[in-house]
Each structure stands twice: as C-alpha cells, then as structure tokens.
Structure 1
Amino acid sequence: MSDFFNDEESDGVRVIMKSSLVVIKKWKEYGTWPLEMESLMSAVAPRSPAPAKKLSEVDFRSGATLEQLSSQVSELVLLEQGEFGDQTALEVHTAKDFIFNMLGLLLTPNPLGLVQKVDQRLPVANEYLLLSGGAREGVLDLNPEDLGDYAKGADFDLDFTLLVPALKLHDRNQPVTLDMRHSPPCHSWLSLRLCDSNILSRWSICCQEENGHPIEEAEEEEEGIGKGSIPSLGPPQSLDGCYFSPTLVTDWFWGVVSEAVEELRRNPQRGIPTPDRLERNGPLATIILQAGSSRVLYDLLPVVSFRGWPAVAQGWLTANHFWDGKITEEEAISGFYLLPCCSPLGGRPDREWRLAFSRSEVQLKKCIPFPMAQAFQAAKAVLSRILARPRTGLSLYHLRTLLFWACDRLPGVYLSCPDADTPGRLLLGLLDDLAHCILSKNCPNYFLPQCNMLEHLTDSQALLVARKLAHVRSDPSEHLRAALDQAQQAGQLKKELTGSTNGHGSPGHHPANGIISPSEDKLAQRLQQLVTENPGKSISVFLNPDDVTRPHFRIDDKFY
C-alpha cells in the first residue's frame, strides 16, 4: 500500500495520511472514534469563514454612510464643548458673580457707590434660572425676529440665558388671575388685582387698566381718589384691570440694567469683568462681559415666576413620557414662567405673556439618551446657520420641542443604541421630523399640545425654510463639515484673543479688562486642588478688589 491515499471523502473526513489507518482500525474494533480521531477531525475539518465586517448603513437620500455621519457628529459635539479648563471655569464663575451682583445692586444700596439710584422692585430673595446657551440657541420660546445677531468666536466665546423673576407669585400663596379669554393657547394676560397692596403699589408703573392706560393715569381720572392711591383700596369697580404689562416691564428692566451697567463702566473696579457691549433685543437685555480671556454673553430676561403647575397643562401629567421612572413628578413640575412675549399671530404685546416650562425642561434634558443628545447638538449647529437669515418665524426651540416628542414616541433602546451608526441615524431623523412639521405647518407644544407653534407660518415662509432644509438633507455630511469649520474658527479666534490679551504686561494682568491677577494660573490650580480634596462641599473664592494677590477660599462655612 502506498504511503498516501487518494484524496477522497469518507464520512465527511478527508483521509490523506498513512498513520490514519491505525485510527480507522481501532474504530472498526471498538465501534467508537478514539480521542486521536477527534483531534484529527478537528485539525483537518474545513474552517468556517471569518464573520464579515458589518457594512455601515447608507442614507438613501444623500448616499452618506451613517458611520461617517456619526463620526462627524461626535467630532462636532466635542469641538462645540471646547476646552473648558480651570482657567475658563474661573472666568465664567467670575462673570456669573458679576451679573448676580449687578442685579443685587437693584435691590439694596451698594457700599461702593456704584449705583446711585436704587430700584427695589425685584424680589429680595429671588430665584434666578441660569440656562446654558443664549436665547438664539433655542433655550426659550421667543420670537426669533427679536433676538439679534451674534456669532460665536466673532462676538462671544460662551453664552447663557438668565431668567430674572420680576414677580414671584408663590411666596405667600398669592391669588393669581391668569386671563386666557383673549389670548391664543400658551398665552395669557396677568391681572394683579387680587394681589396685596404692597405688590400693587410697587408695580403700578408696569400695570394697565382696562382702558389701556397706566394705573397712575387711571387714578388721576377717578374723582375722590388721590394721586398714588392703590386701586385695591378704591371702590369695587376699580379692581377691574391691573394688568401686568410685558412691554412696560421690559422697558423698566432695560432702564435699570442700562443704568447699572453705565455706572459700572464709569467706575471700573480691579478684579471685576468689564461690560463690553450692552444691547436691547426685543424683551432681552444682552450683555457681553470681558472676563480675563473669555467673552461671556448673557441674555437677561424679566419673567414672572410660579410654583406648581397651571391647570391648562394638567393633561400633560396624565400621559406617558420618556422620563417616567427617571425623575420624580415633583422634579418635572416644579414650576413655570410667564415670558414677556406675545403670540406671533398678532396678539397684544402690551398685555400678552407666553407660558414657559423652562424649569421642567432642565430636568427632562437629564433623561435624554446620550446618542440623541449628540444628534440634537449637531442638528442645532447645522440649522443655526440656515435659520439666521432671513428670520422666518422658525427657531431652534422648535427643534428642541421635536426632540422631546421623539423621545416620547421612540423606544429608549433605539435612542440609546451603542452602535456606531446611531448618532447619524438620529440626526437624519430629527431633520426629517422638522421637514414634516414645516411642510404641514404643525408643531404642537410639548407641554400644551393644543398650541400649534407653527400656525403663524405663511405658505411662502414654510416653502422657503423647507427648501433650505431639503438642501441640508441632500448632503448632511457637507453641512456638518461646514459646522465643524465654523466651530474650529471660533476656537482659533478664542486662542488668538487669549494670546493677544496675555501679550500685554504680565500674565493675567489686563488693566480694567477683566480679571486682574498676577497669579491666575496658581489660583486656578489651587481651586482645582480644593475641589479634588473636598468632594461634595461648597467652595467659593473671594477676591479683594484692592489686593487681588491674596485670594480667600471658603469651604462650606470655613475660610482659608
């Protein structure tokens, strides 16, 4: 017998070696395969092919792969967040303190004499809501035509929105009259006629009677009632009206903020950020501060603050939501606001307030799956460029509304899928959702579905925006690249500004131009060390304007 057999199949095993005869003989004697044969079969059996790499799904409309889009989305989100190091954090903290201190000057006399005229109308124990992102970023439902044009990098580096309650109508269980008889959904008139005499006397300059005149003028016309008397103390018929006017409130707010900022400009203090620009944009008072190497934009908005939940939105509580089980109902409905913004359908600007649920939205954002949050951030960056000019009544707040609706509608496992394709797929879904809403001119408010937020769009406006959006949808990769370029340019401008600022004098020494300290780096390092060593504790930094070389730290109630 030859040393080798011819190649042939025998019970699925290719026998090619002479030594295999011994194994086959044993199999015939014992009727079972010995261990040697099992090893041999394993060695010579044909191997299964390696699993093929899963091909990335391709977007039918644009031809782009979802993996490529997802990669661009992740890169853009990372770039948009920027390098938020210790130094920037300290500058942002200082700018925030400046804003809060400035608002505090409107309440009580200032020992430094920065503001000569003190306005004591704001609540003493106020609760400000600070939102990350300016009003143009869609953090509030405001008419986009009034918001002004500001570009990140060219005008500012970081932006925030601050809601400043002019009235807190929940401190002493004040009875409140929300008059929705004359307004479209999501809007209301606000009557102060049931409030106590202190509130009425304090805000009489911002209230109107039924005839549209300010309260002072109406009082002058009444016989037997002296000038400056309180309507609630007069005859019953004088209780009609007392409508808190949004236009009068925003006029008053702009006046006191302007006065405070101008006084600060005339009396610059060492260690205090410098007001670079102050502009009025509709109901907003927009201020850009130079804090060290950072330009921080604040949109300040006077509002009316409420605790609890309005009866008109009770239906929202009975529906199923994506945040169920993730946060408590008390957190989701902790309060609401009235914004000084009338209906775009031609409401009464002097009477009409818009309901806003910003406090709830802050809580809901915590429950959004990370891939969906990435897609939303990228969609904002892309759409902000095409919605800027001309302003057509569509804002990024509409995109935020669609985000909440999508989270309610779609399974959580789909939105949080860890696949590399997920952010790109969700980005395209948001764009498609927005296109559908624009063409149908229908976008229900998330908290008040009976309010169609796009009802005011004309056919020509809707067609114009739909065409722009179709252009984005046909090549989303190209528009993501453009947004990436814009973010990179903004970062480069920030670095150039930092370099030019630090190029004059000693590091951190900027005369009347921000945080003036010869040891900013050491201060930031010390602050970071304290944060690391004291987890969960409240840490504050106090700078003496007359001696900025000696910072003082407070950890809880102890000073260092």
Structure 2
Amino acid sequence: MAVRARPLTDLDFCSGSRIEELNKLLEELERRQSIALQGKDVLHTCLQAKDLVFNLIARVHPLTLHNAFPALYGGPVSGSRMCVLQIRFGPSTLKFLISYTLLVPIIRLPSSLHLSQSSPCHYLVGRSAWDPAPPVVGAGTVHVSPYDVSLWFNSSLLSEVSHLSESSLPLSLERAEPWGNCFSILLSSQSLSIRFDLVPVVEVQGWPPGVQYLDEWVAEDSEAPKLFHLLPWGAGGQWRVGFPGVELYMRRCLHPALSLVLRASTAVLGQILQQNGAPGPYVVWVTLLQACQRLPRGYLSQGHNAALCFLGLLEELSHLFLRGSCPNPFLPGCDLLLGSTRGPSLARHVSEVRAHPARYLRAVIREAKEVVKAGDKGEREEIEEKEERGSGCYPS
C-alpha cells in the first residue's frame, strides 16, 4: 500500500522559505542588534547625547520636571520615551544609527476648549492657547498653525546651535537643521551615530471626542497618561491627533515575539517607509495592533509563530498600501493614508520584501555584523567569532 507523502507544512508558499529558517533569522537579527548595543561606549555616548540635546532644548523652552518628553512611535523615525527607538546599520560608513523622536510640548492645554475639530484626524488650535506667544506669531491670526510653532521652534534652535562651541561638545555635531516642521540633530562618535528628531507639539489633557479602546489601557495601568497630542503634520493650519503616551504602554505589553516582529519589520522596511511622502514606520505599529484585535492571544504569544506573524504583517501592509487606506484603530473615521499618493509604489516595495523575506533579513543581519566588527576590533570581534562558531542559525 502506498504511503501518502507528508506535506511540508513549515514551508512558506509565496517565497519558498522555510518557516524554521525565518524564525532563526529573526532571532539572529535580535541578537545582533543586542550585541551592537552592548558595546562599552554605547550607553555612555547615548547619555552624553541626551544631555546635550536636553540642554539645547532648555535654552529655547522650559523643560518638564523630569525632562521626560513623550515620544511618538514611528513618527519621522520610531520611538518611545528616551529609550533606544530604532537601530539602523550602514555598511558604507561602518556605523550604526540610534534614532530618537522626541515630542516637545510647546503648548499645554488642560482641556480641548481651545480646539476645534476639522476632521476625525485633525484639530485647529485657537490663537489664545499660546499665551504669551512669541513675536513671530502675528497677533491677528485666529489659529496657531503647525507652521507658526515650527518656525519659532526651529529658528530658536538654530540660533542656539550656532552659539555652540565645537571644542566643548562631547560628540561631533554632524548636522542640525529643520526637517519639515521638525528639527533634526545628528551626533556621532567613532562607530555610533545618534539622531534626534525634535517635534514641537500641543499636549492636551483628556481624550478627543469619539476615541475608542484607550480607556481600557488607562484603567489597567494607573501610570498611563490620559492625554493626547497634536502633531505638526496637517494641511491648512491643522494639527494631527496622536496618542503616544498610551501607545508607549501598549508597546510594553507586547509579547516578546511580537516585539521581535515589530523591530524586524521596521528594520527591513525602515528606509522605504521614511522616504519623502511615505507614512513612516508608525503604520507598521498600527497594523500590528489591528492584527492583535483579530488574532487569538494564544497564537500571538507563541514564539515559533514569529515568522508567520512577520510574513502576515508584510502581506497586510502591502494590501493597505495598494488600497490606500489604513484606519486609525483609536479614532473611527481617521485614515492614516488618506491623501497619500505613494501607495502603489510602497505596495510594490513591500511585496518585494514579502517575496524574498530571508534575503532581506540576511542583508540587515550582515550589515549589523559588519558594523559591530568595525566598532571594536579587539575583544568584541573575539566574542563575535566564538558566538558564530556556536550558532547554527547565521546564514552563510
């Protein structure tokens, strides 16, 4: 009697990659990024950079009590509150880049009384909300636009940067310049680059009308702030609504396997999503949240399902970009891709990654390995060689 052939259930039909291999590559990428951050000078350099940037901001705008600005996951870069947000590797410079996105509350409001809602995603801020306003903002304006705030914020920071003495800086100041309505600062040491994107925002206590799901998170964690932020990304003087404070706590609740998927997806798609006119890595985070709502917790919390989640996330992103629509899970009627013209192009790029996931994971792993070796030729290289001999998951 003929024996029925056993199906290759661990094979990805679209790419031909084995699920086991993809899981190992995801783990290897996590390990390589962790090794990169364990260098003896990395933490010290990050703290130096943080002190420099916070002191620079303090010359322009009063700091909060604990100097803890909320930060946006996946704004211009990716982020949380003064933690390592995103690691990118560049073999051409043999440095790895740690990126931070800091939201700097220029206007703080106790309620939304000074606001008028122009769409589910956007608000207008009344002129009286910025009191006293700097002279750069005309007294006759009805609303404070993102352009008004960024014009003052960016010009003030540029003035302060021009007074910095290069010899007094603990790190090399590679670049400090306006970037749209934000301000970008790039600092570097011998093997490390640290980028700060400073975003001037409006901080508002409470929730905007129509918000959903967020009260559940605030009830579960008393430290989660019940407030929202208005981000300077909207046309015609509008501010875009965001919830970075609560989303920070959501990220902390992610199962390690999903956190791994999120970081790996950002690593292979980061440069694509940060091109001019692209939505940024925030869309990856939102899409993962939506998947968490429809998939059982038992599936998401299994480490061996990380590769399947990674592939599924790529597929979902490709569909969203092709459709040109990505609903905001917290604000019904708010579409994160509304008005974007880059959808078909982004869909093609993501589909290419989905068709060759192992190739793209190997590429970012290889870059990480080269950067780590370039950063430390001595003890670190010896550790790397021992680890590689003892690991069967690094691709040849």
Task: State the TM bucket, normalised to the shorter chain.
Answer: 0.7 to 0.9
Distance 1:169 1:392, change over 3 A: closer
Q: 2:366 maps to what in 1? A: 485
Q: Does 1:190 align with 2:125?
A: yes
Matched residue type, 1:352: Q
* 1:94-133 map, 5 Å: 94-106=48-60, 122=62, 125=65, 128-129=68-69, 131=71
Deviation at 1:242? Answer: 3.7
Q: 2:168 maps to what in 1? A: 269
Q: 1:410 maps to what in 2? A: 295
Residues 218-265 of structure 1 show CA distances to partners (whole Å, capped at 9, x for unaligned) of 4xxxxxxxxxxxxxxxxxxxxxx6411211111111111111111112
Whole-angstrom CA distance in 1 between matches of 2:273 and 2:101: 20
Matched residue type, 1:465: L
Deviation at 1:385? Answer: 3.9
Q: Is the partner of 2:103 in helix, strand or coil?
A: strand
Deviation at 1:204? Answer: 5.1
Q: 2:391 maps to what in 1? A: none
Match of 2:285 among 397, 400, 408: 400
* 1:241-280 map, 5 Å: 242-265=142-165, 268-269=167-168, 272-280=170-178
Deviation at 1:128? Answer: 3.9
Q: 2:209 maps to what in 1? A: 311
Q: Does 1:76 align with 2:16?
A: no
Match of 1:283 among 181, 185, 200: 181
Contact 1:164–1:300 under 8 Å retained in 2: yes
Q: Is the partner of 1:79 in helix, strand or coil?
A: helix
Gaps of 5+ in 1: 1-52, 107-120, 141-149, 208-213, 219-240, 500-560
User: Aligned Cα RMSD in Å?
Assistant: 3.1
Q: 1:300 maps to what in 2? A: 198
Q: Does 1:177 align with 2:114?
A: yes
Contact 2:126–2:144 under 8 Å retained in 1: yes
Whole-angstrom CA distance in 2 between matches of 1:388 and 1:492: 27
Gaps of 5+ in 2: 1-5, 81-87, 381-396
Aligned length: 364
Distance 1:88 1:103, change over 3 A: same
Deviation at 1:486? Answer: 2.7
Whole-angstrom CA distance in 2 between matches of 1:179 and 1:244: 12
Q: Is the partner of 1:62 in helix, strand or coil?
A: coil
Q: Does 1:361 align with 2:258?
A: no
Whole-angstrom CA distance in 2 between matches of 1:296 and 1:257: 18
Q: 1:339 maps to what in 2? A: 231
Q: Is the partner of 2:176 in helix, strand or coil?
A: strand
Q: Does 1:374 align with 2:260?
A: yes
Contact 1:368–1:407 under 8 Å retained in 2: no
Q: Does 1:431 align with 2:323?
A: no
Q: 2:43 maps to what in 1? A: 89
Whole-angstrom CA distance in 2 between matches of 1:481 and 1:87: 26
Contact 1:443–1:452 under 8 Å retained in 2: yes
Q: 2:12 maps to what in 1? A: 59
Contact 2:75–2:281 under 8 Å retained in 1: no
Deviation at 1:493? Answer: 4.7
Q: 2:133 maps to what in 1? A: 203
Q: Is the partner of 2:264 in helix, strand or coil?
A: helix
Matched residue type, 1:381: A
Contact 1:316–1:448 under 8 Å retained in 2: no
Whole-angstrom CA distance in 1 between matches of 2:353 and 2:283: 17
Deviation at 1:102? Answer: 1.9
Deviation at 1:80? Answer: 2.5
Q: Is the partner of 1:473 in helix, strand or coil?
A: helix
Deviation at 1:312? Answer: 3.4
Matched residue type, 1:439: L
Contact 1:337–1:358 under 8 Å retained in 2: yes
Contact 1:276–1:290 under 8 Å retained in 2: yes
**Identical aligned pairs, as a percentage?**
28
Q: Is the partner of 1:76 in helix, strand or coil?
A: helix
Whole-angstrom CA distance in 2 between matches of 1:301 and 1:369: 29
Distance 1:133 1:404, change over 3 A: closer
Contact 2:79–2:100 under 8 Å retained in 1: no
The higher relative CO (CA closer than 8 Å, separation ≥ 6) is in: 2
Matched residue type, 2:319: H
Deviation at 1:287? Answer: 0.8
Whole-angstrom CA distance in 2 between matches of 1:192 and 1:335: 21
Whole-angstrom CA distance in 2 between matches of 1:156 and 1:259: 29
Whole-angstrom CA distance in 2 between matches of 1:130 and 1:316: 20
Whole-angstrom CA distance in 1 between matches of 2:33 and 2:7: 30
Deviation at 1:126? Answer: 7.8
Q: What is the TM-score with the length of structure 2 in the denominator? A: 0.81
Matched residue type, 1:91: T
Residues 10-39 of structure 1 show CA distances to partners (whole Å, capped at 9, x for unaligned) of xxxxxxxxxxxxxxxxxxxxxxxxxxxxxx
Residues 287-345 of structure 1 show CA distances to partners (whole Å, capped at 9, x for unaligned) of 122457643211111111122222232x3347xx7x698x33x4445221111111xxx
Matched residue type, 1:316: Y
Deviation at 1:124? Answer: 6.8
Matched residue type, 1:289: L
Whole-angstrom CA distance in 1 between matches of 2:290 and 2:74: 23
